[in-house]
Structure 1
Amino acid sequence: MNVHRRLAATGGALLALALATAGCTSSDDDAATAAASSSAAAKSSAEAAAAKPIEWQDCSSQIDPIIAGRPGADRDLAFQCGTTTVPVSYADPTGGTLQLFLVKATLAGQANRIGSLVVNPGGPGQSATDAAIQSALTLPTDVLGRFDVVGVDPRGVGLSDPAVECISDQQKDELFAADPRATDAASLATAFGRVDAVADACATKYKDALGAFDTVDTARDMDLVRQSLGDEQLTFLGYSYGTTLGSTYAELFPDRVRAMVLDGAVDPDAGLQQSAEAQAQAFEAAFDAFAANCLTLVSGCPLGFDPRLFVTDLLTQTAAAPVPSSRPGEIRQATPGLVLEAVRSALYQPSAWPQLTQSLAAARNGDAAGLLTLADSYTGRNDDGSYTNVVDANVAITCADTDEEFTQQQVSALVTDWGTRYPLFGADAALGLYTCSAWDAPRTPLPDRDAAGSAPILVIGTQGDPVTPVVGAADMAADLTSGVLLTWQGAGHTAYPKTECVTAAVDAYLIDLVVPQDGLTCPA
């Protein structure tokens, strides 16, 4: 099983603990029972779903200690946490419900408030409430002066209830530690068996209710939240998978879009195989950029004259003898799977390249602490060995959104082919195609999305994005009737608000609805 998108959550585990301690979340609901009972009500209903009030509580005292010391923490911010309910089945809006968890951040001194800026960080499976907190620290104050920033953990995600949890910590440790480059028949049979075991566990726990965690219904949830927030139209900022959610919302409710920024667009025209191969190729290119950067260091590259060879040798070394860690209490050792998770994690942003360089060099010298830290930040593993539910939610949502399937024979052939053409990331990308083939749950495939009738939608792509290759943004903008494309010639995953050119264009669009010229290119 391969989860290709960014999994880490910034402070999610701490936020969950703090809020649960403060009594802001429930902890005794049986997630499987709650979802299954409501999903069973599949009969059609003429009654439309009604938006429910949001029950807000001030939670600044819980969040302030979490953000202390971070850049932007000196801003005069107030945080509120809230819950609201939505139907599990929109075919039967009066049936069972799910509880969504929200965080709203407000900067003191707002003037001429426009409304709410709803943010989603992608994944799928990342916590949007964490994203709202982080956005309050990093978004331009011009934007914060006009909008409250609101994050809603989607159905099945984070602090929303029930959150999908059906993959054990032990299974996750095994999945991430396994050598994804192993292409022999025995290794592949073991890999397929792990995926089958995960699918069986999730199907046993949730049964058909597992199909309720889909993007189409999450987009419907988002419209109820918009109404509950008191906004006539939606202003939305979505990253990565958040662009899939946003464009789905625009397709369902085109007249309700005020402004929508889709940054790091997931290609709506690519099937699972095309998308996985494009991402493997993009990660290989990102690694080459990382290696080239290392070779320019004045002090010399700690990985030698060929960083790719260095990593290949380290993978061979850890396959034969996993590398221990000096981290106190750590009993794991770095295997090829964890080495590649660490590399993938750092390739998301060039700012992490120095950390990756030092961690790889340290591992070659016998200490894998740095690599395990990078890998854990990617997979959502906590210091105590537990995991967030980001992996569970990622797989559940991804598989609910597609009806594509691949046989083990097809996947095995691609593992061999891609493993040769994309030596670091190809085999893993191919193996990931089997994940949804084993998934036993109802599917709600994503709709074609042209969002005819919508206000202009700003789509952003980054030339050196390893996660959502820039062609996806071009395709998204072309598909959307009102799509406007902005390209950043930079590197890393997503662009706003990293550079002045992109930031100025997005700010003017969000605040004053000034749409940049279609095809605008911003320099690196």
Structure 2
Amino acid sequence: MPRPSLPRAAALTATVVLLTSVLAGCGDDAEDEDLSAQKLSWKDCPAPSQAQGGGPSPSPLPDNGAWQCATMKAPLDWDDPEGDTIGIELIRAQASGERGRRIGSLVFNFGGPGGSGVTTLPAFGEEYETLRTRYDLVSFDPRGVGRSAAVWCESDQQLDAYFQLDATPDDATERTELLDGVKQFNDACEDRSERMLPHVATTDAARDMDLMRQVLGDDKLHYFGISYGTELGGVYAHLFPENVGRAVFDAVVDPTQTPEQGALGQAKGFQRALDNFAEDCVSQEEECPIGDSAQDVKDRIAQLLEDLDARPIPGVFPRELTQTAATNGIAQALYSQDFWQYLTDGLEQAYDGDGQILMLLSDSLNGRSENGEYSNLVPANISINCADDKPRYTVAQVQRALPEFRAASEVFGDFLAWSMLSCTDWAVPGAADHPDVSAPGSAPILVVGNTGDPATPYEGARKMVRALGEGVGVELTYRGQGHGAYDSENKCVRNAVDGYLLDDRVPKAGTVCS
């Protein structure tokens, strides 16, 4: 099962629809064409398709301007730049300030991997209005995602069954079922997306971004990376240090970890977030409805998951809330403190035998819409991870790691340990144990870590600073909750980030915001 290293949710409604990704093909002949000289044809953006998660066209900008979309040609294979091309879908909001004060384009990647920037940027557009005074805000669907030559694997009905698998097997029969399910999913990816699978690595996306920089007319890439977007930004800085402009990394991936170390770090991070959630619930003036003490809250959650392993409860008809779906839903709610009330409501409901809210949260993390259609978020997530990650773990390796994972988290330990099997028997070899982000000669990169971040634990920010190299990474700490810092609206964080991106004021290294 895919590990919950997915993009932050753009919205949480009654149906918990995750905003993500759209469909496009590859196959144009790029022979004798200078792709860096191509001219983009910007038009009003269409409504997102199934691969992007569906929904309406982007709402007008605060000044009633329109979001614009275009398709950039990029090589299918960067080792054969004059061969076939694919389309990379872009979205922009043009700068709102005086023309003479425009700095250039500010390119966003919101994470995943597998998240569609074309749908996510408009969802968060108002948060970046200050930055729009001097930048065109730009984002994109990375290759393999959404409209950018999307990777597809199983059908919607098959994915429903895939996500009902027991992702924490207790015996040989359950292990066989899990392995068979993973193999079926991975075989489907190869059957439907064989041509794209070798070309969706983070290094490929980084090269796309440098082509994007040139096509947008910028001498330097000004960049805002969130979650996995920090890894992509680090890889870009390693490949093109001389082209880095003003860059911010928020919710920072630890670039020094193997997939196993990363999964263990997430187990600790999600457990820390669950601890904080439990403490918050019992500290309110009103009585916490899901436990008498923080430990009681966590004990009852652990008992619920144990009970669901033996006896699922009704979820979203006709599906049942399983132990796996409940764990997934709890993880989704921990991505943002704004979602904690949904988690409280979902747990209270589940204790009464109704799993609807927790299942909707799980559906959101998996990219499933209310009408039962899946975006290509999960296929893209797994495809990019497996293209990047060299290790291919076995059942024996997972079993040896289980004690350490369980010590890290009673709730998430098994779930994240077994998720290491996602790339077993994958059709394409992985690139490396971990990404190379060393970037000597790069301009300063502001690296923002959140002490309460569940998905990209705080410790990763310092590791990223060290890996970028002396004089490049500038660390800023936010003492808060949730995945990321800038969208917390903390004034200290906002002032530091905006001051750098807008006025080139680099904050003092080690600055702490609370």
Residues 416 and 190 (structure 1), Cα distance of their counterparts in 2 relative to 1, 3 Å cut: farther
Residues 2 and 61 (structure 1), Cα distance of their counterparts in 2 relative to 1, 3 Å cut: closer
* 1:280-319 residue CA offsets vs partner (Å, 9 max, x unmatched): 0111111111111111122211112211122122223323
Among 296, 301, 305, the alignment partner of 1:311 is 301
How far 1:121 sits from its partner (Å)? Answer: 0.4
Matches within 5 A, 1:44-59: 50-59=36-45
Structure 2 counterpart of 1:486, one-letter code: L
Partner Cα distance (1:475, 1:7) in 2:
21
Matches within 5 A, 1:111-150: 111=99, 112-139=101-128, 141-150=129-138
Structure 1 counterpart of 2:322, one-letter code: T
Residues 345 and 283 (structure 1), Cα distance of their counterparts in 2 relative to 1, 3 Å cut: same
Q: Is residue 514 of structure 1 aligned with residue 505 of structure 2?
A: yes
| RMSD, matched Cα | 2.8
Partner Cα distance (1:269, 1:61) in 2:
39
SS in 2 for 1:424: coil
Matches within 5 A, 1:355-374: 355-374=342-361
Among 397, 401, 405, the alignment partner of 1:418 is 405
Partner Cα distance (2:256, 2:20) in 1:
36
Partner Cα distance (1:209, 1:65) in 2:
28
SS in 2 for 1:177: coil
How far 1:64 sits from its partner (Å)? Answer: 11
> Which consecutive residues of structure 2, in runs of 5 or more, have no partner in the other structure?
49-53
8 A Cα contact 2:486 2:494, kept in partner: yes
State the match for 1:440 in structure 2.
427
Among 155, 160, 171, the alignment partner of 1:184 is 171
Partner Cα distance (1:200, 1:340) in 2:
26
Partner Cα distance (2:362, 2:441) in 1:
43
Matches within 5 A, 1:355-434: 355-415=342-402, 417-419=404-406, 421-434=408-421
How far 1:180 sits from its partner (Å)? Answer: 3.0
Matches within 5 A, 1:70-469: 74-106=62-94, 108-111=96-99, 112-139=101-128, 141-160=129-148, 162-207=149-194, 209-305=196-292, 306-325=296-315, 330-415=317-402, 417-419=404-406, 421-445=408-432, 447-469=435-457
Partner Cα distance (1:443, 1:212) in 2:
11
Residues 46 and 431 (structure 1), Cα distance of their counterparts in 2 relative to 1, 3 Å cut: farther
Among 479, 483, 496, the alignment partner of 1:489 is 479
Between the two proteins, the alignment pairs up a number of residues equal to: 497
Residues 7 and 14 (structure 1), Cα distance of their counterparts in 2 relative to 1, 3 Å cut: closer
Structure 2 counterpart of 1:206, one-letter code: S
Structure 2 counterpart of 1:137, one-letter code: E
Partner Cα distance (1:84, 1:47) in 2:
13
Structure 2 counterpart of 1:518, one-letter code: A
* 1:307-357 residue CA offsets vs partner (Å, 9 max, x unmatched): 1122122223323332224x6xx3212111111111000111111111110
Partner Cα distance (1:113, 1:421) in 2:
48
Bigger drift between 415-424 and 119-128 goes to 415-424
Residues 67 and 207 (structure 1), Cα distance of their counterparts in 2 relative to 1, 3 Å cut: closer
Partner Cα distance (2:289, 2:9) in 1:
30
Structure 2 counterpart of 1:507, one-letter code: D
State the match for 2:51 in structure 1.
none
Partner Cα distance (1:413, 1:444) in 2:
24
Partner Cα distance (2:19, 2:512) in 1:
38
* 1:473-516 residue CA offsets vs partner (Å, 9 max, x unmatched): 10111121311111111111110142111110000100111100
> Which consecutive residues of structure 1, in runs of 5 or more, have no partner in the other structure?
18-24
SS in 1 for 2:230: helix
How far 1:208 sits from its partner (Å)? Answer: 5.9
Residues 320 and 449 (structure 1), Cα distance of their counterparts in 2 relative to 1, 3 Å cut: closer
8 A Cα contact 2:224 2:248, kept in partner: yes
SS in 2 for 1:50: helix
Partner Cα distance (1:51, 1:365) in 2:
61
Residues 110 and 136 (structure 1), Cα distance of their counterparts in 2 relative to 1, 3 Å cut: farther
